Amino acid sequence: MALPMPPPALPSGLPEPREALPVESADECSDSDDCDDFHDPDDWDGQPWEVVFPSDSPLLAATYEPSDGLFDALKEFCIENRMGLITLRSQKDKAKTRTIKYELVCDNSRYNPRESTAKIRNTTTTKLAANCPFKIMVQSLQTNNYEWSMRIVSPLHRDHGRSKNLTEHYHWRRLTEEQMNLLVDLCLDKTISCRSVHKQLCQKWPKIPIRRTDIYNWRWKVNQTKRQDYGPANDFVRTLSESKKVWIWGLDWIGDEFRFRNVAWVYHKGGKMWQQFSSYLQIDVTYSTNCYKMLLVTVVAVSSEKTSMPICYGLLNNEQVASFEWFLKQVSRFQRAGIISPPEVVITDKDDQLRNAIRQVFPNTQLQLCVFHINSNVVLYIKKWWKKANGSLDSDMDDDQDNADAADVQELERGNTKVKDMKNAKLGPLPKRVLNTRAGMYLLWRYMVYTRSEDDFNQAWRQIQQTFPHQERILRYLKDTYLPLKREWACCYTRYYRNFGLITTAPAESNHHSLKTYHLSLRSDLPDVEAATASQTDDKRQLYKDKIQRANTTIRNQFSGREWLGQLPLTVSRWALDQLDEIHKLVESSEVSKKMLPPCTGSTKTQYGLPCAHRLLELALQDEPLKKEDLDPFWHIKRSRDIDDPLLQIKRPPMGIPKGRPRNSEPFGNERAIPAQEFAPQG
């Protein structure tokens, strides 16, 4: 039997790991972070103990005009004796205008049970807290000119040790004006959790007597003040009707019940982006955003800087065709109100209810399916329904004989997550033969999805049928589910739609992911959803502006001075310039290699709204630059860059003729140094 290998030696200077029993940390703080005042009551011997008030204590003899002075003095005494107090009951005067009496008891008494009520099973017994008789009366009597005084009813403590913290009585948890202002600002920010608010307060004021539960209560009070004491639904409708951020909205009422089942709204910033980028939209649904379990529908536009922008939000009661149809009719109404052209392409996942509603409301719009969802479903069913050579189903990917095949499938899946644009899909020639494995089948399927040729698409499908004839269930699934819709997901067809190369719903999915970072959950109410969507719209609009500003530096360094671009670097987006640069490289390579360009398919103009390589070659032969009108309005920026930076208008000087040996050829460059009409006449 082989002996166990000794552990490797530690580097010099590193202490050996301890091998002792775990101990309870002695420096842990309580929930209140008031570590300097109280410690764990480990010294209690289980016997009753009495609080001794000195005979000369001002608490017994002195009177206080405001009650705050008495409570502050009592706080210092409680710190010395390590005890906490709570208000058992209070009493007002006959006019019910002011409090005249407080009855204070121990915080460990049965009147303040702090133990958790969670239990494994129901029992017939009830666990009571300590029956501590300690009690203090604080009252404002007429005999003392309504000044506050204190009276000890029972100084004895029983059935518990010293108190752990001083955050029980609400008077001692009052905050200063500076602390309250910071707390209100933090509570109004939905992106900051209550745990983070409590941590920030304790870091700035280490001895602040505040509990985490107080943060929840204060956040609720701040929200109620902000809502003007309206209920959540009332405040939600009030915000839609009165907010200056909301551009247009609509509600679907349930008869005469004054209850709405569906709602849709658009912000001004989203409407501005919608007017500029309306030809290509994405629609997606997300869940777990509100306590009513209403699903959140988002219409997302993609900007010319490749940023996503939510332009319309909707909360729907269900996922039926009628609900989606109502929402899309509201989208159509908003579109007409903003004089916005209808979308040419709408991409969704395979939600039949949503797709049927789109066909009803936007009959002239081309539908497109997300290839990421398609590939994920296909690889899932290939794993689930794959038949071994003996005919048995193989759903286990961890068998030793399938390790290599499983690794190949996982590698192809990782490649699927990286494809968000049609140009990200890199394909070689169609393989003539693949292995009879799951990875081989998925490889041919991916080729069907991403190939640009319809002939290669048909050939890949025939090869799947010929190579895997025994996988009848998988072939039937592919044939019945996706092949009838091939014109909505295969790149050989979608390359002729105005989708700007986008073939997935990744922009919409990323919007939903970022929306959840605004602390939306099943506990959120409708005003929380509206506040989160408003913040997201502001952030996305600012992100687009920042990208435009960052592009100015790159354009100044890379694209200024290129004669064939003309004034385009000042008026179009960076994404358009990058794609034009790639197309121009094809023209340059054909000129260098003296080869003809491949035949024009028209997909560049149709899909991207950009001139193709043949158009660039034609303009180069005519010595004409590109113009703004040659590009789709999608690529135009509203504010020309030369307005903010006039130096961008300056072009490079023409190439001069150096003094030296005369040459017979023209000077090197795109133009003459001296115009022909300025030369002296010959002869």
- Write the burial class of residue 350 (CB in 10 Å: 0-12 exposed, 13-18 middle, 19+ buried): middle
Of the candidates 609, 590, 608, the residue with the CA atom closest to the CA atom of residue 599: 590
pLDDT at 152 (0 to 100): 81
Tokens, residue 580? 């034009």
Of the candidates 240, 238, 242, 189, the residue with the CA atom closest to the CA atom of residue 215: 189
pLDDT at 113 (0 to 100): 55
Asked if 308 and 290 count as a contact pair (C-beta separation under 8 A), the reply is no
pLDDT at 292 (0 to 100): 92
pLDDT at 55 (0 to 100): 63
Per the listing, tokens 């016997």 go with 47
Distance CA 385, CA 468 (A): 13
pLDDT at 651 (0 to 100): 66
Asked if 382 and 390 count as a contact pair (C-beta separation under 8 A), the reply is no
∠ CA 539-234-189, nearest 5°, is 30
Tokens, residue 231? 């209920």
pLDDT at 426 (0 to 100): 73
CA–CA distances in Å: residue 324 to residues 276, 337, 423, 512: 25, 20, 32, 18
pLDDT at 166 (0 to 100): 60
Listed as ranges, residues in the chain with pLDDT below 50 are: 26-42, 115-117, 119-120, 126, 396-398, 668-669, 673-674, 678-683
Other C-beta atoms closer than 10 Å to the C-beta of 472 total 11
- Write the burial class of residue 7 (CB in 10 Å: 0-12 exposed, 13-18 middle, 19+ buried): exposed
For 76-81, which contacts have Cβ atoms below 8 Å and span 24 or more sequence positions? 77/53, 78/163, 78/166, 79/37, 79/166, 81/51
Distance CA 487, CA 494 (A): 7
Other C-beta atoms closer than 10 Å to the C-beta of 557 total 8
Phi/psi at 162 (nearest 5 deg)? -70, 155
Other C-beta atoms closer than 10 Å to the C-beta of 372 total 18
Strand residue runs (E) in 242-307: 246-253, 260-267, 280-286, 295-302
Residues 6+ apart with CB under 8 A from 633: 276
Helix (H) or strand (E) holding 366: strand 366-369
pLDDT at 346 (0 to 100): 97
Helix, strand, coil percent content, the chain, rounded in steps of 5: 45, 15, 45
Q: Are strands 85-92 and 99-106 parallel, antiparallel or unpaired?
A: antiparallel
Other C-beta atoms closer than 10 Å to the C-beta of 301 total 25
CA–CA distances in Å: residue 496 to residues 491, 601, 602: 9, 9, 8
Asked if 197 and 179 count as a contact pair (C-beta separation under 8 A), the reply is no
Distance CA 555, CA 567 (A): 12
According to DSSP H, which parts of 265-364 are helical?
268-276, 321-337, 352-361
Distance CA 532, CA 520 (A): 8
280-286: strand order across its sheet: 246-253, 260-267, 308-316, 295-302, 280-286, 345-348, 366-369
Tokens, residue 178? 């500076």
